[in-house]
A and B are shown apart, each in its own frame.
Chain A
Amino acid sequence: MNKDILIIGGGIAGIQSALDLAEMNYKVYLVESLPSIGGKMAQLDKTFPTNDCAI
């Protein structure tokens, strides 16, 4: 049984999964097709319903 995990997509969902697993001491490969991670959320200015900054 291999214990490493592959995550495809580096948007908010992929980032959250990666951080959770890395904190649980699993080795994670995070693959993103664009030059940087962040996905659609990085394009957002603020988020509802708290108007917090997205990045």
Chain B
Amino acid sequence: MLDVGRHSNIELLAYSEVENIKGEAGDFQATVRKKARYVDEDKCTGCGNCADKCPTTVPDAFNEGLSYRKAIYSWFAQGIPSTFTIDTDYCRHFQGKKCGICQKNCQAEAINFEQEDEFLELDVGAIIVATGYKVFDPSRIPEYRYKQIPNVLTSMEFERMLGASGPTEGHLERPSDRKVKNQIQDLQKKLQKAEKSLKKYEEEYQIDSESFYSQYKQDNSSEDKEKKKWADKYEEYLGLQETLRPLQEQAEKFKDATKVAFIQCVGSRDKRFFPFCSGYCCMHSIKEAIIAHEHDPETTSTIFGMDIRAVGKGFEEYKIRSQNSSNVFYKRAKVAEITEAQNRNPVLTYEDTKEQKVKSEEFELVVLATACEPSSSTRPLAEILGIDINEFGFFQTDYKNPLDSTKPGVFICGCANDPMDIPESVAQASSAAARAVQVLTGIGDARSDRVSKAS
């Protein structure tokens, strides 16, 4: 990523979208909208002072909503470019409230609320489309109760939890436990606030709140408004303590999850959603199980699937390694339903096809290996480019020239083409680069006549 930012031949247009394309191979005119960040790219040093001071917190999409960021943010810490961006959907200034705190605290004077979208006209000879994929939303499968049971996650959410820079710093905290911990934090903040205001009264009247309150109750005199306020505050304080205590007792027993289940083919190989195999999910689950075990050797993982497709260089060996040294177990089963136990652990009901018995088992975390869905930008971009999409919503390509779209000079690579893993995406990307050069130079492009026959 760093190399892209530094390379003199690459003009990086981040936070930008293609609006219009005209022309043909060798002579395309593209209109690109550079969206306003409200932060001057040339001035912003990426120091993050603005975000430290910003009063508005927003769920962090990079962490799949498992943590929070500010309304002025960088997409992730090592992002290129490192320029911050204002999220106008949440920013107080753009919501018509008085704020401007980021502007006051930016030493580089980079914040510009008046910034506008810019339009760039680019003349190019070839176009490579690498728009990737979208994670399938498993709440479309009602029996898995994703979002209803907090300890059921997508593989991308689990991936963020495994990351040392992620929301749990690599610890497998059950999201239900994190929720309780956050509640405790909120209550403690409120308690501190209440304590502060009680202290004011205590100093003024030279008596502690507890003695004051018992006296107040005895006298039953509510005429003094100030004293009534004090008594109300003290009652609120007691109430907060009352709510906090059981939560704290509960939290003392929390420990990181060590029993994890993975469910394969969530949305893929399922005629209700996508009939195709998403390809990478088997290996993705195996990898996550291995890494979870690396983090905590007590961790055991069970992978539930119809079969495991470990097709690729070194993949089968990787799977065997997971069984031999990472406590990973494989069950040939299709999970019928996920329910929640009283301790908030998800319970899987499944048919063990080896024993031909319906079983149920409790896990601390369940990870759904979600399908590779065409990115939501695929359809509008296909219209802009004037190219076709296939029956599943990915870009249509020629089976003989698998990177060629239905328009000469436009090439498709990576998951925009079809579900694939990283090594395959990289191979396709290099290949698409080579095809683009063939079109631009006319050298080695003896196959260009086949382009129009894309199917």
Contacts and interface: CB of A to CB of B under 8 A. Distances in A.
Interface stretch (B124-132, B198-206, B234-242, B349-357): B124-132
The residue in B4, B13, B74 that gathers the most chain A C-beta atoms within 10 A of its C-beta is B4
The residue in A42, A43, A44 that gathers the most chain B C-beta atoms within 10 A of its C-beta is A43
A18 B291 contact: no
A24 B284 CA distance: 33
Given A1-B125, A9-B129, A22-B10, A43 B160 contact: yes
Interface stretch (B101-109, B185-193, B262-270, B314-322): B314-322
Contact of B123 (A4, A12, A25, A42): A4
Contacts of A55: 1, 78
A11 B318 CA distance: 25
Contacts of B81: 35-36
A50 B430 CA distance: 21
Interface stretch (B244-252, B328-336, B339-347, B420-428): B420-428
Contacts of B7: 18-19, 22
Q: Contact size class for B? A: 35 or more
A2 B30 CA distance: 12
Interface in A16-55: 16-51, 55
Contacts of B128: 5-8, 14, 17
Nearest to A15: B4
A7 to B, nearest CB: 5
Given A14-B414, A17-B128, A6 B283 contact: no
B277 interface: no
Contact of B27 (A2, A6, A29): A2
Contacts of B123: 2, 4
B184 interface: no
Contact of A11 (B12, B286, B414): B414
Given A9-B416, A13-B425, A49-B314, A33 B15 contact: yes
B386 interface: no
A48 B414 contact: no
B55 interface: no
Interface string B96-130: 00000000000000000000000000111111111
B152 interface: no
The residue in B80, B290, B314 that gathers the most chain A C-beta atoms within 10 A of its C-beta is B80
Contacts of A48: 283-284, 286-287, 315, 318, 421
B9 A27 contact: yes
A27 B4 CA distance: 12
A28 B9 contact: yes
Contacts of A7: 127-128, 130
A49 B312 contact: yes
Nearest to B318: A49
24 contacts: A1-B125, A2-B28, A4-B125, A6-B126, A8-B127, A8-B130, A8-B131, A11-B414, A13-B132, A16-B429, A19-B4, A29-B13, A30-B11, A31-B17, A31-B32, A32-B14, A35-B84, A37-B14, A40-B132, A42-B62, A45-B160, A45-B163, A46-B287, A48-B286
Given A2-B123, A13-B132, 17 more contacts: A4-B125, A5-B128, A6-B18, A9-B129, A10-B130, A11-B415, A13-B415, A18-B4, A19-B10, A20-B434, A28-B9, A29-B30, A34-B75, A35-B79, A36-B74, A40-B133, A48-B286
Closest 7 CB pairs of A and B: A13-B414, A36-B79, A16-B429, A22-B9, A14-B130, A9-B130, A13-B130
